[in-house]
Amino acid sequence: MASPPHGAAPAPRAQRLQDLVRRVEFGLFGPRLEVWREQRKRHAIDRLRRRTLVITPMEAAVRLLHLKRLLPTPLVALDLFGKAGIMKTLEYVPFAESVEFYEVYGPFAAHARRALPADKVTIRVADSIAAVRAGTTLRSDYSFVVMDNPISTFGGGYCENFDLFPAVFDRLAPRSALVFNAALDDWVAALDTDHVEHRRRRRAFFGAPLDAAHAANDLAAVMAGYARAVPADRFEILDLFPVPHPGDMMFLVMALARR
């Protein structure tokens, strides 16, 4: 089969090496170097956005929702994997009335406090998946939920964004949009992760037996898997569309109406 159509064939060794370098750097410098790199990237992207036709994935997601008249108003955001907020949150915060922002790692959250407007954003240093599942988020009427989750197993038992379904549906306003990371099996195979457990969790979420080949290896299968995760008796899917993203992932954007 040809390479996956996202522009880069899976390159496990290169990716793992890059991962290793990052981990060593992180051990040596903590989050500072990584945040500094993201800030430089942010400046470069912002310069390009002002001077060229560049449009980022988050900007595309918001614009497409707006064009389709599906961008919720007011935009009450729940950002579940915030990091320092530099790459994604900063891009939609101008449209938001409020943002509840989660980051489990304190030093990243400390950078987010400096990067994001304090009058709109409430930063919580906590496990967002646990908060959604326990119903302890500050509100239960979010109209814009961002899940910029790791495409891996993580946090002692979580995998991608699967553990947020179906609990996230108890936290939504009557009209809402979810923007979340999604990946194909081939792309996941390129990442440094617990492959056996990751494959098991993907098979369970996308609804295929463990030995089934190519269970979630095309866009239609991945979209169908997420569509099935929506409680159809409570919510209607108004739209579900992908937005290309660099790296081994895409954004899926799901617009919902409560029945």
Least Cβ distance, residue 81 to ligand SAM (angstroms): 3
Closest contact distance (angstroms) between CB of 65 and ligand SAM is 18
Confirm or reject binding of residue 82 to ligand SAM (CB under 6 A): yes
Based on the shown chain and the rule CB under 6 A, indicate whether residue 103 belongs to the binding site for ligand SAM. yes
DSSP notation for 135-164: T-SS-S-EEEEEE---SSEETTTEETTGGG
The whole-angstrom separation of Cα 222 and Cα 241 is: 11
> Per CB under 6 A, does 95 bind ligand SAM?
no
d(Cα 230, Cα 243) in Å, to the nearest integer?
Answer: 20
Interface pick for ligand SAM out of 127, 219, 224, 247 (rule CB under 6 A): 127
Token look-up 């098979």 returns: 203
Is residue 124 near ligand SAM by the rule CB under 6 A?
no
The yes or no reply on residue 256 touching ligand SAM (CB under 6 A) is no
- Distance from C-alpha of 216 to C-alpha of 5, rounded to nearest angstrom: 15
129 near ligand SAM, rule: CB under 6 A: yes
Q: Is residue 218 a contact point for ligand SAM (CB under 6 A)?
A: no
Q: Is 26 in the site for ligand SAM (CB under 6 A)?
A: no
| Total interface residues for ligand SAM by CB under 6 A | 21
User: In this chain, which of 57, 83, 145, 217 binds ligand SAM, going by CB under 6 A?
Assistant: 83
Q: Are 190 and 12 spatial neighbours (Cβ–Cβ below 8 Å)?
A: yes
Specify the long-range contacts of residues 118-126, CB closer than 8 Å, at least 24 apart.
120/93, 120/96, 121/85, 121/89, 121/93, 122/98, 123/82, 124/100, 126/102
Q: Which is nearer to ligand SAM, 75 or 86 (CB)?
A: 86
CB of 17 to ligand SAM, least distance (A): 19
- Residues in 138-177 that interact with ligand SAM by CB under 6 A: 148, 150, 154-155
Residues near 78 by beta carbon (within 8 Å), at least 6 away in sequence: 99, 100, 102, 137, 139, 142, 144, 145, 146, 171
> How many Å apart are CA 193 and CA 190, to the nearest integer?
9
Q: Is 104 a binder of ligand SAM (CB under 6 A)?
A: yes
* CB of 4 or CB of 82, closer to ligand SAM: 82
Identity of the residue, 149 or 215, whose beta carbon is nearer to ligand SAM in the bound complex:
149
- Using CB under 6 A, pick the residue from 88, 201, 202, 245 that binds ligand SAM: 88
List of residues 6+ apart from 138 with CB closer than 8 A: 100, 122, 124
Rounded Cα gap, residues 98 and 128, in angstroms = 17
CB of 38 to ligand SAM, least distance (A): 6
Point out which residues bind ligand SAM (CB under 6 A).
81-89, 102-105, 108, 127-129, 148, 150, 154-155
